[in-house]
Amino acid sequence: MYESNKINILTSTVMILWGSIGLFTRYIGLAPIQLAFSRAALAALLLVIMSDRKNWSVRKFNRTSVVMYIMSGALIGMAWVALFYGYTHTTIASAVIIYNMCPVYVMLAAPIVLKEKRSHVQTGVIIVSIIGLVLIVGAPGVGENDLMGKIMSGISGLLYAVIVIMNRKIKAKLSGTIATAIQMMGASLVLLPFVLNAGFVSAVAALDKSAIVLTVVLGIVHTGVAYSLYFSTYHQMKSIDIVVYSYLEPVFGLLFGVVFLKEPLTRWQLAGGLLILGSTFIGENIQAGRFTLGRPKTKLSKSYEE
């Protein structure tokens, strides 16, 4: 019982941390690409330090898998740039819900890319989620760049869907910490030329102390520590528990935006969010066997570490 409670607390803490990322982006004066690079570089450094040196033996690595992880890391970096743009140009509620369309994109691509048969339940989830997406995108905006913020949030979700599919094709799996460290390195490398060209050093130098602290916290706590905690509990949890907890992230993100930033939450956003999150949640439960409408083969989870 104690161990179960510990796992629940740690996993809930991780979801709260990830749910608050949108809030942090609003208080850090860096451009989305600079913020994404900072997060990836700090996380990579911490994960390498925290990992067991023995696990970095060259003999334990599969070259093809490492290349795939680096490539998925590069996509993670670009996905973060798009999501951070969404967080800063539309409401956090809209950004986080649209981004969470990722499982739907995986379902759409699975029959073609993964050669998996789509069930009637999955088809229903796709239709309902698209209706929800239309409601959110069509909801009144909060500024002249609101629509672009929503579009970038959608691009982020698409990129995460590609990452999920790529990671499922990696045959030689590395440990969660090592795989994430390599992905963070890949994200840092692909973003480095762009941030240097965009005046990253001068931008960081211009930050006040509170913004610097928040940036470090985002990279170290929200990414490095959070992923370490997540992987320490991941293999001790049932699939359905992982599914349930993964939906806490967008819920906390939405709440943080409404409570701390006083962002408006329209009936259209709420309806769209319920359609998207509700339908994908039901689809996940069916896949995990909680419901009895069938068991679709396609894994819906947006976690790119699968």
Helix axes 248-260, 92-99, angle to 10 degrees: 170
User: For residue range 225-270, what is the model confidence (pLDDT) as tens digits?
Assistant: 998 888 877 767 776 677 678 889 999 999 999 999 999 888 999 9
Q: Residue 294 domain-assigned?
A: no
- State how far the Cα of 217 lies from the Cα of 182, in Å rounded to an integer: 20
* Interval 285-290 mean pLDDT: 65
Q: Please check whether residue 158 is in contact with residue 105, taking contact to mean a CB–CB distance below 8 angstroms.
A: yes
- State how far the Cα of 165 lies from the Cα of 60, in Å rounded to an integer: 23
Q: Residue 301 domain-assigned?
A: no
Is the predicted pLDDT of residue 291 greater than 60, yes or no? no
Q: Residue 209 domain-assigned?
A: yes
Full residue range of the structural domain in which residue 275 is found: 2-288
Q: Residue 304 domain-assigned?
A: no
Q: Which of 53-57, 144-148, 167-171 has the highest mean pLDDT?
A: 144-148
pLDDT at 228: 87
Mean pLDDT score of the chain: 86
Q: Residue 293 domain-assigned?
A: no
pLDDT at 174: 76
Is the predicted pLDDT of residue 119 greater than 90, yes or no? no
Return all residues near 76 (Cβ < 8 A) that are at least 6 apart.
40, 159, 163, 183, 184, 186, 187, 304
Is the predicted pLDDT of residue 294 greater than 50, yes or no? no
pLDDT at 293: 47
Across 98-116, b (16+ Cβ under 10 Å) vs e yields: bbbbbbbbbbbbbeeeeeb
- State how far the Cα of 155 lies from the Cα of 157, in Å rounded to an integer: 5
Residue 287 pLDDT grade (very low, low, confident, very high; cuts 50, 70, 90)? low
Q: Residue 190 domain-assigned?
A: yes
With CA atoms as reference, report the closest residue to 181 among 29, 305, 300, 20: 305
- State how far the Cα of 294 lies from the Cα of 207, in Å rounded to an integer: 53
Q: How many residues does the chain have?
A: 306
Helix axes 146-169, 63-89, angle to 10 degrees: 160
Number of separate domains in the chain = 1
Does 31 or 281 have the greater pLDDT score? Answer: 31
* Interval 162-177 mean pLDDT: 81
Q: Residue 250 domain-assigned?
A: yes
- State how far the Cα of 207 lies from the Cα of 209, in Å rounded to an integer: 7
User: For residue range 193-222, what is the model confidence (pLDDT) as tens digits?
Assistant: 999 998 898 999 999 999 999 999 999 999
Q: Residue 296 domain-assigned?
A: no
Question: Which run of H or E residues covers position 88?
Answer: helix 63-89
* Interval 123-146 mean pLDDT: 87
Residue 65 pLDDT grade (very low, low, confident, very high; cuts 50, 70, 90)? confident
